[in-house]
Amino acid sequence: MIEVQKLTKWYGRVLAVDNISFRVEKGQIVGFLGPNGAGKSTTLKIITCYLPATSGKVTVAGLDVLSDSLAVRRKIGYMPESVPLYPEMRVREFLMFRAALRDIPPKQRLAAVDRVADHCWLSKPEDMMRRRLGELSRGYKQRVGLAEVLLHNPEVLVLDEPTIGLDPAQIRAMRDLILGLAEQHTVILSSHILAEVEQTCKHLIIIAGGRIVASGTPGELRQRVVGPSRIFAEVRGAEDKVMAAAVRGISQVREVEQFPHGNWTRLVISSDSGADPRAEVAKLIAEKGWQLRELRREVGSLEDFFVQITYEQSMQAGERLAATA
């Protein structure tokens, strides 16, 4: 549905997006994840025809965003980051105005506006549709923004930080709303909070320093974290080095480090990805007649992975830019 090839964007002398490529299939919900300033919004703005790319090619439903800009814009609904709205307009008035811009025939506009208002819970307080946009709370503004995006039933929805600034109940409501959209639309949404996209998105693209650092389903990404899982064992009964060497002898174990811990020795055991040699470790210790008081496996969270990977990448990007400047 969306294909991004070797996309690069410079803002003057600042490199915002550095040669990224990815694909979004029809009907997918894709989460665009990265720290602030990673290039998420820039990429989304290029996909939605707001900004031109410095180089690279972006197509939406087979149409080029540069040469078929209008056709692409008809297929996309884009909600910018801070949901800018005209403060003096009333909710219904604004939606009717946007419906006119979205090529909805005059006779169908009212029905379209009522449909999205229902969908985004804007019809609940009686006077909601008559309120001025400037007087709405953050949560309602966000709903109006989303309603506007859904007016023309676009094939592709691009939502830039759709849950930022919402309270927990509103975040949950927004998440349910987006999940409900997945049946009919292809959705790209961006966020800098992992927990949020992890639950909504079938596919994550982690971007940092203008580059894609990881992508895959949340499960696949978690796999990469689980890979270098570590086992902590506290043992005593022999010399540190002897115990470490013995444990290293187990087939699945890759690396053992030892740390004195009072009278005990703490062994930190790294194993092959996916392997769990805890049973073997316990068996070995029992056979040797050593004492064991703790045996625990620690799995890195997706959050740790995300923080680590984006941190490294931003450091590298900093160096890269420092080198070019």
Partner 1 sequence: MGKTFAIARRELGATFFSPVGYVVAALFLCVCMIKLVPPPWYVDEWFILVPGHEASLRPLFDLMALAMVFAVPLLTMRLMSEEFRSGTIETLMTAPVTDTQVILGKFLGVMAFYLMLLGGTLILLVLMMAYGEPDFGVAAMGYLGMVLLGAAFVAVGVFASTLTQHQLLAAVVGILILGIFGVVMPFLIPGAPVPLNYLAEKLSVMTYFKDFSKGIFDSRGLAFFLSAAGLFLFLSVKTLESRRWR
Residues at the interface with partner 1 (CB under 8 A) = 45, 48-52, 70-71, 73-74, 76, 78, 80, 82, 84-89, 93, 97-98, 100-103, 106, 148
DSSP for 220-273?
HHHHHHHTT-EEEEEEESS-HHHHHHHHHTSTTEEEEEEEEETTEEEEEEEEST
Q: How far is the CB of 63 from partner 1 (least distance, A)?
A: 12
Q: How far is the CB of 146 from partner 1 (least distance, A)?
A: 12
Burial class (CB in 10 A: 0-12, 13-18, 19+), 322: exposed
* Of 246, 253, 258, residue with least CA distance to 290: 246
* Of 179, 227, 176, residue with least CA distance to 201: 179
Q: How far is the CB of 314 from partner 1 (least distance, A)?
A: 26
| Nearer CB in complex with partner 1: 10/232 | 10
Q: How far is the CB of 206 from partner 1 (least distance, A)?
A: 25
Q: How far is the CB of 12 from partner 1 (least distance, A)?
A: 9
| Nearer CB in complex with partner 1: 45/175 | 45
| Nearer CB in complex with partner 1: 43/48 | 48
| Nearer CB in complex with partner 1: 85/246 | 85
* Of 50, 97, 52, 48, residue with least CA distance to 75: 48
Q: How far is the CB of 152 from partner 1 (least distance, A)?
A: 9
| Nearer CB in complex with partner 1: 120/233 | 120
| Nearer CB in complex with partner 1: 17/285 | 17
Going by their DSSP bridges, the two strands 291-298 and 230-236 should be labelled as antiparallel
**Residues listed for the chain:** 325
Burial class (CB in 10 A: 0-12, 13-18, 19+), 280: middle
Cβ pair 190, 159 in contact under 8 A: yes
Whole-number Å distance between alpha carbons of 150 and 25: 19
Whole-number Å distance between alpha carbons of 208 and 284: 44
